[in-house]
Structure 1
């Protein structure tokens, strides 16, 4: 007899049409194309047009996930969005997307856990479905990092705009979300942050003059922490799932840079060919990284029933999260 599990039934993603190359960024910021491509592994990234909002691409990703799951928007009763770049501070991004896709029967809200928000949202949705409170959930990861990126600063090469979504349901199945793990540590709140536009630093001429409205990142400290936390978080989820790295068909990770991911793969003893990479084309799209990559391999027909997929991420704060999924319905 099959068990009752929370299953990913559909995936979707959307990226803007506008491409920003390393050649372009060399003209505005103190960066080097060769270094960006050889060390970071990023060739280009996407950027929303001025007339576009993050909710626009999130809605497209959501509708594609719903279509892939053969589910109507009206069947969704829970909608959670992981984001750090909502259209507005009020109302929530979830309610804006809810209206755009016609998910009128859903309760909708956001989770801000920096780049780990999608995994936090997925864990939250799983709890609601496991306890029977809701039946069909739509989990979205979306960020327009361009709105908080200083294109005069060398860190601009890392970030891009994208969205991804999954539909999750409680089904009688051997497949589904086998394990999850997440955590946080607020001791390092200043290593990756945006000061301007908050209660601590309200919008003012001084804030704008000092460019405090843009994302600040201390790259060396971030890299050191990520190399420590990413393997740790994935191992916690694998331990709960009672599997080893050898059992994973794919690793779908956060997308900070290629060198860092290769180092993590060495620590975890996971062959590089098992790691799903999207950063070469899209950069670090924060909350969109994992659902975007998952949708890519799903639509490429690379996923087979029973495949085990590891997902892991780290975000500012620090926040981190991981999951192990057995693919199929």
Structure 2
């Protein structure tokens, strides 16, 4: 397919940040009903990161944002829009995006959060793209950041899945053959109890009962999540590929959500995508929710693996259900 040069929304910089503290599987064996062998063989997770005491989600997001801005050779004060995909903001009010805005000194930007669970970054990317395509703004900072440790029950076996981290991209309008070629996102609110925190908000406000029942921690129906993800992720990838008019052979890298290694291998097999094209970060960072995709993208970018014209497919699924995908042709 010949792609004509015209106005496109391109990624001009990437950045990421993870905390220094490493939580090993050996440590989790001591506090939860899980075991290292299962975590590593089935989930593919060897370790994850956890914020230090006094560190906040906004700290991670701001550090990732600064790195992305540096790569894009942009100043924070020139940013028009900041969208943060997150389910673990510092506070319920104000938004995490406005706190990040203050920390990086970007007074010109409009800033808001977007909660689409693990799909938050892709939803935020698509949202920002629309503002730029319509010339409402000329650039945007899109961040995926989550501190999953604050909602993880370390007495429950699901603690093995989650870690903390942040990733960011700078989007710009540009006259280019590269950029975002296609996007797709959707949701289905019929499964609100599959991945959720029951307590701590309007349905079950903070109380001693909520604490006693540990309802303030994340709960996940693992089997149901796996079944749904194995169907939805390939569907989302196909939709974005069809819109971009590309085939599996055109894909340089699949940059997916990072739920577990077995699931990603299954999805790649269904689509006939070679495993070496699937970018994996979960072995070191586990599932960092909204941060997964920008973390993985920044990894291969800084390793020099991305070449001009490479086609990258992003795909994700989150609680709700929410899911989405995008095809990006790399380059300025």
TM-score (norm 2): 0.99
Structure 2 Cα separation of the partners of residues 13 and 29 of structure 1: 29
- Does structure 1 residue 225 correspond to structure 2 residue 243? no
- Residue by residue, what CA displacement relative to the aligned partner does 1:150-171 show, whole Å, maximum 9, x if unpaired? 0000000000000000000000
Structure 1 Cα separation of the partners of residues 88 and 189 of structure 2: 20
> Following TM superposition, by how much is the alpha carbon of 1:50 offset from its aligned partner in structure 2, in angstroms?
1.5
- Aligned position for 2:36: 33
Ranges of 4+ aligned residues in structure 1 off by more than 6 Å: none
Of 296, 309, 312, the residue aligned with 2:312 is 309
Local SS of the residue matching 2:107: coil
- Residue by residue, what CA displacement relative to the aligned partner does 1:126-176 show, whole Å, maximum 9, x if unpaired? 000000000010000000000000000000000000000000000000000
- Aligned position for 1:71: 74
> Following TM superposition, by how much is the alpha carbon of 1:303 offset from its aligned partner in structure 2, in angstroms?
0.3
- Aligned position for 2:60: 57
Structure 2 Cα separation of the partners of residues 318 and 223 of structure 1: 12
Structure 1 Cα separation of the partners of residues 254 and 241 of structure 2: 12
- Aligned position for 1:261: 264
- Aligned position for 1:240: 243
Of 10, 20, 25, the residue aligned with 1:7 is 10
Structure 2 Cα separation of the partners of residues 148 and 244 of structure 1: 39
Structure 2 Cα separation of the partners of residues 85 and 205 of structure 1: 21
> Following TM superposition, by how much is the alpha carbon of 1:245 offset from its aligned partner in structure 2, in angstroms?
1.2
- Does structure 1 residue 175 correspond to structure 2 residue 175? no
Structure 2 Cα separation of the partners of residues 245 and 180 of structure 1: 16
Structure 2 Cα separation of the partners of residues 144 and 94 of structure 1: 15
- Residue by residue, what CA displacement relative to the aligned partner does 1:266-318 show, whole Å, maximum 9, x if unpaired? 01110000000000000000000000000000000000000000000000000
> Following TM superposition, by how much is the alpha carbon of 1:244 offset from its aligned partner in structure 2, in angstroms?
1.0
Local SS of the residue matching 1:196: coil
> Following TM superposition, by how much is the alpha carbon of 1:2 offset from its aligned partner in structure 2, in angstroms?
2.5
- Does structure 1 residue 325 correspond to structure 2 residue 332? no
- Aligned position for 2:90: 87
Structure 1 Cα separation of the partners of residues 331 and 292 of structure 2: 21
> Following TM superposition, by how much is the alpha carbon of 1:196 offset from its aligned partner in structure 2, in angstroms?
1.2
- Residue by residue, what CA displacement relative to the aligned partner does 1:99-145 show, whole Å, maximum 9, x if unpaired? 00001100000000000010000000000000000001000000000
The unaligned stretches of length 5 or more in structure 1 are none
TM-score (norm 1): 1.00
- Residue by residue, what CA displacement relative to the aligned partner does 1:222-270 show, whole Å, maximum 9, x if unpaired? 0000000000001000000000111100000000000000000001110
- Residue by residue, what CA displacement relative to the aligned partner does 1:187-233 show, whole Å, maximum 9, x if unpaired? 00000000111100000000000000000000000000000000000
Structure 1 Cα separation of the partners of residues 147 and 60 of structure 2: 9
- Aligned position for 1:297: 300
- Aligned position for 2:163: 160
- Aligned position for 2:208: 205
Local SS of the residue matching 2:67: helix
Of 19, 24, 43, the residue aligned with 1:21 is 24
